[in-house]
Amino acid sequence: MSMETSADIAGLRATLDRFRQKGARIGFVPTMGNLHAGHISLIEQSVSRCDFTVASIFVNPLQFGAGEDFDTYPRTLADDQSKLVEAGCNLLFTPSTDQLYPRGLEAHTKVTVPEVTRHHCGAHRPGHFDGVSTIVNVLLNIVQPAVAFFGEKDFQQVAVIRKLVFDLQMPVEIVSGATRREDDGLAMSSRNQYLSAEDRPVAAELYRTLQHIASRIEDGEKNFLQLQTEGLENLSRKGFRTEYLNIVRADTLDVASERDEDIVVLVAARLGQTRLIDNIRIIRSHD
């Protein structure tokens, strides 16, 4: 089946209305492009669970802070289109900034999701999650999918979007897809290509550190502060500048206690010019 690429909001709405009227279940994968196997696995999930799959590519200026990589973020449309066609995507939406923010970024209505944005990336990238929740809200209103798919590498982003959809009673199911990794464990990310040849093998140490912490918790280590300190020390020795390494409850993203059964370790660290994030989930039972 061929895939249409459209930047036209009214046309896209009309096409999707026609499919919905016929009872089709619409799946949606919002992205910023430069697609890798993680994105493609979300497309494949949508294709297997839905009748019609829409992807969007929009590098959202509202979620980038001053001095961040908005201008240099990799834009690879032709390559992305081939990958989407191969994965069975039905429609690619490529809106412009003027279409989505017609009165400019400053004047646009913003959506703020409280609490779950307080720590971690929320604390280190002021305004970032307002940008994410605003654009996700806009895109969900345009596409009106039954299901929307997001990658678990951005664990806090998924929590923010789940809360957004819950609090605003948005009629969409949010499905998260497992992080895809390179052979050495590095989480796939569009930003990995910023890594120098020298830093690239070192970057895998981020996930190895998470795995080490997870196995210590699974073995019964209760001193989470100590684990965090050791993790930070290890990353620093390897040349990372760590923004945070936090052991938290998977539901609220607040500090975990030794009694918690569903835990996630969240990390963000810089290696050279590249900011990397990753996480590992530990589900245990005290029975």
Annotated binding-site ranges: 32-39, 63, 151-154, 157, 188-191
Q: Does 135 bind ligand PAF (CB under 6 A)?
A: yes
Q: Does 154 bind ligand PAF (CB under 6 A)?
A: yes
| The one-letter amino acid at 33 | G
Minimum CB separation from ligand PAF for residue 76, in Å? 14
Dihedral angle, C-alpha 132, 137, 140, 141, nearest 10 ° = -150
Minimum CB separation from ligand PAF for residue 63, in Å? 6
Task: Please say if 39 is a catalytic residue.
Answer: yes
Q: Does 60 bind ligand PAF (CB under 6 A)?
A: yes
Catalytic residue among 39, 119, 120, 128: 39
Candidate residues 3, 12, 16, 30; the one interacting with ligand PAF per rule CB under 6 A: 30
Q: Does 205 bind ligand PAF (CB under 6 A)?
A: no
CA pair distance 275, 267, nearest whole angstrom: 11
Calculate ∠ Cα 278-282-284, nearest 5°. 175
Q: Does 143 bind ligand PAF (CB under 6 A)?
A: no
- Report the DSSP beta bridge partners of residue 150: 176
Strand 4-6: give its sheet, edge to edge. Answer: 4-6, 91-93, 52-57, 26-31, 147-151, 173-177
Best CA proximity match to 190, nearest among 275, 133, 269: 275
Binding region for ligand PAF (CB under 6 A) out of 8-16, 26-34, 141-149, 173-181:
26-34
Query: Which residues in this chain contact ligand PAF in the complex, by CB under 6 A?
Result: 30-32, 60, 63, 132, 135-136, 154, 157
